[in-house]
């Protein structure tokens, strides 16, 4: 594997990298071929007790900052892109609970349980009829005394069948507008999932993301305090775009690592002669450094903002929203370019699916990046914001 994103390795990242090398990479091809959940990888992550990385230290977790979480996701994605994406999605849900519910007795206890049991949390933000707009819901929670009821018809539920719990968006009540959303923690015993679509995709097959109809009922304490609008703006957007960039970086790094190994093998055939493919590798490494620096820089800036008084308010500014839009679009477009460069370097050996230099899975996984919250949708929002934004 190519060196860490930030030039240093914490114990958390070292443990994750070991799982990536020893478990995730070993099973990645089978996970991809069968479009199955990477059970072995997540059992290993549980045993290493790194699923609680985003849980604050006061609840027994690692209390990892954005830089460390992003590097952790990048490390795992080098072994298996789908596993890296699942880990990132899990961290996003944990962060929403920790940053917006830790002051609530129920969720404080739940965070401790996350650490003790190494729970895996998925989300349901998609819904049939809202056309990919996560900031709009049709379904609404029903309060019935001390319990809630909730039904949702979701277009995609990544690793939902394999998660311990789900964090679900819905309207605050039946009379609320579609944009007045909240988050509900749905525990595994409280729900039924009925699959409605399949997940036979080009890439990211191991995320297991078909559509489901969910029916749930549980204690009313499992409704997260506050609004989804705040959780989205102050946590979900930043954690998603920065950590997803780490995942895509990991996928690209794995491909360029194979290209580097190929060039070195070619050089050994003719000692003293620099292979022609080495020039292409040098060009590709410029893009790798650019993507790595952009990802690391945004993670570092996020941590710096969080260390400031009133940092959460800074995440609500238009300037920060533009940065998040930019890193998402930039990283999602750069990753497949780097993988394509790796393919050009390796040639037919990278095109074959059964060779040690194959980058087929990297290529297919990286193509999903521009579709996860469509770049066209993001660029349209950026364009409208730039009409009124003044960079100071």
**Cα angle for residues 258, 86, 337 (degrees, 5° grid):** 40
67-97: pLDDT as tens digits? 999 999 999 999 999 999 999 999 999 999 9
Question: Which DSSP string do the residues of 191-212 spell out, in sequence order?
Answer: EEEEE-S----SS-GGG----E
Q: How many CB atoms lie within 10 A of CB 198?
A: 9
The boundaries of every CATH 1.20.140.10 domain in the chain are: 228-386
Sign of the four-CA dihedral 370, 372, 374, 380: negative
Residue 198: the pLDDT is: 97
In whole angstroms, what is the distance from residue 118 CA to residue 179 CA? 33
Give me the mean pLDDT over the 206-218 stretch: 98
Residue 4: the pLDDT is: 45
- Domain 11-120 CATH assignment equals 1.10.540.10: yes
- The answer, yes or no, to whether residue 135 has pLDDT greater than 80, is yes
Confidence band for 375, pLDDT divided at 50, 70 and 90: very high
Confidence band for 132, pLDDT divided at 50, 70 and 90: confident
The boundaries of every CATH 1.10.540.10 domain in the chain are: 11-120
| Average predicted confidence (pLDDT) for the chain | 96
Residues above pLDDT 90, as percent of the chain: 96
Question: In the chain, what is the straight-line distance between the N-terminal and C-terminal CA atoms, in Å?
Answer: 40
288-344: pLDDT as tens digits? 999 999 999 999 999 999 999 999 999 999 999 999 999 999 999 999 999 999 999
Question: How far from chain centre, in Å, is Cα 3?
Answer: 20
The boundaries of every CATH 2.40.110.10 domain in the chain are: 122-222
Confidence band for 3, pLDDT divided at 50, 70 and 90: very low
- The answer, yes or no, to whether residue 18 has pLDDT greater than 90, is yes
* 247 contact partners, CB below 8 Å, separation of at least 6: 73, 74, 77, 81, 84, 85, 88
- The answer, yes or no, to whether residue 64 has pLDDT greater than 90, is yes
pTM of the model: 0.96
Which of 1.10.3720.10, 3.40.50.300, 3.40.50.970, 1.20.140.10 would CATH assign to domain 228-386?
Answer: 1.20.140.10
- The answer, yes or no, to whether residue 215 has pLDDT greater than 90, is yes
CATH fold of the domain at 122-222: Butyryl-CoA Dehydrogenase, subunit A; domain 2 (2.40.110)
């Amino acid at each position: 594997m190519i060196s860490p994103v930030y030039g240093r390795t914490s114990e958390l990242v070292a443990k994750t990298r070991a799982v990536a090398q020893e478990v995730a990479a070993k099973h990645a091809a089978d996970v991809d071929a069968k479009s199955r959940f990477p059970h072995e990888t997540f059992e290993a992550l549980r045993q290493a007790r790194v699923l609680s990385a985003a849980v604050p230290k006061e609840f027994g977790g690692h209390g990892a900052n954005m830089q460390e979480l992003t590097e952790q996701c990048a490390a795992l994605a080098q072994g298996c892109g789908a596993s890296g994406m699942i880990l990132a999605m899990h961290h996003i849900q944990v962060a929403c609970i920790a940053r917006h519910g830790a002051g609530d007795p129920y969720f404080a206890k739940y965070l401790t349980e996350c650490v003790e049991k190494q729970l895996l949390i998925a989300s349901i933000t998609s819904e049939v009829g809202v056309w990919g707009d996560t900031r709009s819901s049709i379904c609404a929670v029903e309060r019935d005394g001390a319990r809630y009821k909730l039904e949702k018809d979701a277009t995609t539920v990544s690793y939902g069948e394999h998660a311990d719990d789900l964090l679900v968006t819905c309207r605050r009540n039946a009379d609320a507008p579609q944009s007045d959303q909240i988050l509900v923690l749905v525990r595994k015993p409280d729900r039924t999932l009925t699959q409605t679509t399949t997940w036979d995709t080009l890439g990211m097959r191991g995320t297991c993301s078909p559509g489901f109809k969910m029916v749930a009922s549980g204690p009313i304490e499992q409704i997260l305090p506050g609004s989804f609008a705040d959780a989205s703006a102050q946590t979900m957007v930043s954690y998603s775009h920065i950590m997803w960039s780490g995942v895509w970086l990991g996928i690209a790094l794995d491909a360029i690592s194979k290209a580097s190994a190929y060039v070195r093998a070619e050089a050994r055939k003719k000692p003293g002669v620099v292979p022609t493919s080495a020039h292409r590798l040098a060009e590709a490494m410029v893009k790798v450094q650019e993507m790595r620096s952009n990802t690391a820089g945004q993670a570092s800036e996020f941590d710096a903002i969080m260390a400031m008084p009133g940092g959460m308010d800074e995440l609500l500014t238009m300037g920060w929203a533009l940065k998040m839009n930019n890193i998402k679009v930039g990283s999602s477009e750069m990753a497949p370019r780097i993988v394509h460069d790796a393919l050009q370097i390796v040639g037919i050996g990278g095109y074959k699916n059964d060779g040690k230099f194959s980058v087929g899975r990297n290529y297919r996984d990286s193509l999903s990046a521009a579709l996860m919250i469509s770049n066209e949708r993001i660029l349209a929002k950026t364009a409208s914001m730039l009409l009124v934004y003044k960079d100071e």
